[in-house]
Amino acid sequence: MIKAAVLGTPITHSLSPFLHNRAYEILGIDGDYTRIELDFPNFPNFLSGAMREEWTGFSLTMPLKEASFLPELDISLDPRAQKISSVNTLIKFGKSFRGISTDVLAFDRFLSSLTFSNVAIIGAGGTARAALGALDGMVEHVNILRRTTSRDGALEKCVDSTSLRFRPMNSDLSQFDLVISTTPAGVTDSLAHAMTAANGTLIEVLYNPWPTQLSAKWISLGGSVKHGLDLLVEQALDQIQLMTGASFDYATMRATLLEEVLAKQSDTRNI
């Protein structure tokens, strides 16, 4: 039986339990996936206990995508996760865990379907670094809009052949044909208010609230937007495969889960 959970805080809004449990039903697999409220300081003790229990794996969301790198934890890190210093998936192997970033795998597939040349990432956290890891080698430069310089070094470690241009958070977004927004709710509202043009695609990782002010303004100015649920479903596909070991057609599972989770979110808003 699969026993898994999403860890983080705040976690009550997470749609991951719906996605994973629905996938188990589709695949005919006995499993239970839940949510557990957990902050960064309590992560080591929780994981120590989990190593002695019958867990299959965990999804990690804010603020835990960097928690797997704590030196006291016995976690084997996938090379790409190591490079971007971000883990959003833990898979149990014996009495230890393997740390993986299915965020970067999701961005690999997302970006392969888009055409772009001038890219900006808003934010500097784990999801931003996953996007940067996927972009490495695809463009000559990536622009990073961030509020502080504290994570610049970690961002630079994510790339080998693409260079970074660090910019202030209030930079004009109209100059970019791909913008990836990875910040918490409300952070980009001022950017939305200042926008007068939108070129190309916005990938917005948020799905609650939706639409964000940035995504609504982007659409109103004629740009295209990738919904936060698109990324949520995309990264979940790899987690489902890793946790269940099942083989399935990604395109079919993606279409089914995305249709159902969009309907679920719409129903929730109408209550």
Active site residue 65: yes
Burial class (CB in 10 A: 0-12, 13-18, 19+), 228: buried
Q: What is the DSSP letter of 174?
A: G
The alpha helices in 91-209, defined as continuous H runs, are 102-112, 126-135, 152-156, 189-194
CA atoms in the 13 A half-sphere facing the CB of 193: 6
* The two three-digit tokens of residue 213, written as one number: 């002010």
Q: Of 3, 65, 95, 157, which residue is the catalytic one?
A: 65
Cα angle, residue 183 at apex, residues 182 and 189 outer, rounded to 5°: 120
**CA–centroid distance for 254 within its chain:** 16
Instruction: Report whether 9 contacts 35 (CB < 8 A).
Output: no
What's the chain's length in residues?
Answer: 271
Return the closest-CA partner of residue 228 out of 133, 110, 65: 110
Q: Measuring CA to CA, which residue among 216, 222, 153 is closest to residue 181?
A: 216
Distance CA 105, CA 242 (A): 12
Q: How far apart are CA 185 and CA 27, in angstroms?
A: 34
Residues marked active site are found at 65
